[in-house]
Amino acid sequence: MIISIIGQPTSGKTTLVRSIIKGLGSYKECEPFPLFKCQEHNDILIIGRYAEEETFGGTDRLSYSTIKPFRDFIDEQVKNYRHIMYEGDRFSNNLEWLLDNHDAICFTLTVNAKEEERRHKLRNDTQSETWLKGRRTQIDNFRKNFNLMGRLNVRDTSEGMEEVKQEIMNILK
């Protein structure tokens, strides 16, 4: 199963993956395909790396050069891993293809405006309102896309994300 986690900034994507990774235990860093720096947890591949001290980890740290070969990467890696998981919008243009061609699920995280503002302040980010609005619009467009309707597991993380974490951990078992 391929697990995709997308959402607006501060919706908890990276925090969620870090929490899941802790539950998976030890890992080794790998690069199973050029430019795709990953973490391997036995038969689970996490795209990106999640250093504790980094606010923006995971796929945010991957080169934009990974976008074009993403499909080839997935087609090759599904042969080698029981599960593959990633978060972020780096590969979101491939979401429909992913859901059409692989055993995949997409969790779309949202957060209310008050909690979003609190989280931005908490992490002292410097993302402009114009950039943030673009990301919110991107997620809204995914949710309104006819071909994706009913295929996105939308979850509001304003009150926390323990339920989403448990659902994903159950998939990874």
| Opening angle at CA 59, ends 73 and 111, nearest 5 | 125
Residue 170 in any domain: the answer is: no
Q: Which helix (H) or strand (E) holds 172?
A: helix 162-172
Residue 32 in any domain: the answer is: yes
Residue 173 in any domain: the answer is: no
Which residue carries 């429909």 as its tokens?
A: 96
Q: What is the pLDDT along the chain (173 residues), one digit of tens a residue?
A: 999 999 988 999 999 999 999 999 999 999 999 999 999 999 999 999 998 777 677 898 999 999 999 999 999 999 999 999 999 989 988 999 999 999 999 999 999 989 988 988 888 888 888 988 888 898 888 888 877 888 899 999 998 899 999 999 999 99
Q: Please count the other Cβ atoms lying within 10 Å of the Cβ belonging to residue 102.
A: 16
Which of 78, 87, 73, 76 is CA-nearest to residue 12? Answer: 87
Residue 172 in any domain: the answer is: no
Residue 73 in any domain: the answer is: yes
| Whole-angstrom distance, CA of residue 56 vs CA of residue 100 | 29
Residue 114 in any domain: the answer is: yes
Half-sphere exposure of 95 (CA within 13 A, CB side): 28
C-beta of residue 60 within 8 angstroms of C-beta of residue 67: no
Range of the domain at 93: 2-163
Torsion of CA 86, 91, 92, 95, to 10 degrees: -80
Task: Show the tokens assigned to 18.
Answer: 């870090």
Q: Which helix (H) or strand (E) holds 45?
A: strand 44-47
Q: How many independent structural domains does the chain possess?
A: 1
CATH number at residue 136: 3.40.50
